[in-house]
Amino acid sequence: MATRKQDSSATAKQQAKTGAETAKEGAERTGLAAPSVSQVEKARNEGVTEAIKEQAKDAYEYATDGQLPGEAPQTRQFTMSDAHTNMIDGLLGLGPDELEERVDEKADSPLSEDQVANLLKLERNGPNRTLHVQVLCKRLKVKSPLEVPGAGTAPYTNDVSNLTPIARPGE
Residues 57 and 89 in one domain: no
pLDDT at residue 136, rounded to an integer: 92
Residues 89 and 140 in one domain: yes
Asked if the structure places residue 138 within a domain, the reply is yes
Q: How confident is the model at residue 66 (pLDDT cuts 50, 70, 90)?
A: low
Residue range 110-126: mean pLDDT, rounded:
87
Asked if the structure places residue 156 within a domain, the reply is no
Report which listed range, 25-34, 79-88, 138-147, is most confident. 138-147
Q: What is the DSSP string of 84-111?
A: TGGGTGGGGGS-HHHHHHHH-TTSSSPP
Alpha-carbon torsion 78, 79, 84, 86, what sign? Answer: positive
- The three-class DSSP label of residue 144 is coil
pLDDT at residue 34, rounded to an integer: 65
Domain count, the chain: 2
Asked if the structure places residue 137 within a domain, the reply is yes
Residues 100 and 137 in one domain: yes
On the question of pLDDT at 109 being above 80, the answer is yes
Domain that holds residue 93: 85-147
Residue range 147-169: mean pLDDT, rounded:
77
Asked if the structure places residue 154 within a domain, the reply is no
- The three-class DSSP label of residue 133 is helix
